[in-house]
Amino acid sequence: MKRILLILFGILVSPYTFSQILTVNSNSSVSIASGSSINLGGLEIAPDATYVISGNNAVSRSASAITSGDNSSVSRVYTSSALLSGFTGTLTFSYLEGELNDIVEADLVLELQADDDSWTTYGGTVDEVNNTVSYTFNEPVSFKAVTASSADATLTVKDTYPLDSRISVYPNPTANRIYIQVDNIIKAELFDLVGRKIIETNQNQINLGNLNSGSFILKVITDNNKSKSFKIIKQ
């Protein structure tokens, strides 16, 4: 397959960094033709029809795994600041063996995060020689993050606390502090959307005043080992 690396005015492509890989400024775009591909630091995008990534958008790569309960992805996550929508073609995800987090290579699957923060599993082709997982999307798919995990794991945050339990978080959205209303709290953990833990406390309130605006996941654990997760919006 022909591979192309596009560097246009207002666009920065840096395939080997562990932070921001691709920046598309306003009024700029990256166009990937059918039969070609672009490799974003180990994530190869090969559309079956011309695909355009428009600004403002940025793709970054994180070395922090996505976690949900006892489940974990590999320690490589690609995140787009704006939704990549309507893609058809092949995504090929590269990994290092040191990023597997005890996941058996043969069990690897692609995980794509939708705009509502849920993760969907796609059982693609694993190449253990070249350390890649690939999947061909024949129907349009939209996503804002890509990683790989075990086929028997799920990365979607689920409420494991009984639905009628009296646990709540307020105010949400918030500009500063959030309060957790629950008895016998053991721990509260705040994560960003790529799974990095930002704050951990055993208190019933958390000061978010120093954080940038955006969305976060708050996981609250009580003394009976029950947990509930909330999407928190910081204004």
By residue range, what is the domain housing residue 64?
Answer: 11-150
d(CA 54, CA 216): 25
User: Is 50 inside any structural domain?
Assistant: yes
Please give the Cα distance from 163 to 23 (Å, whole number).
42
Query: pLDDT of 174-228, one tens digit each?
Result: 888 888 888 788 889 998 877 788 999 998 889 998 999 888 888 888 877 777 8
Same domain assignment for residues 66 and 178: no
pLDDT above 90 for 46: yes
The pLDDT of residue 131 is 97
For residues 131 and 174, membership in a common domain is answered with no
Residue 159: its pLDDT value, please? 43
**Domain end marker among 123, 150, 177:** 150
Quote the tokens at residue 235.
């204004």
The CATH number of residue 128's host domain is: 2.60.220
Q: How many C-beta atoms surround the C-beta of residue 139 within 10 A?
A: 6
CATH of the domain at 209: 2.60.40.1930
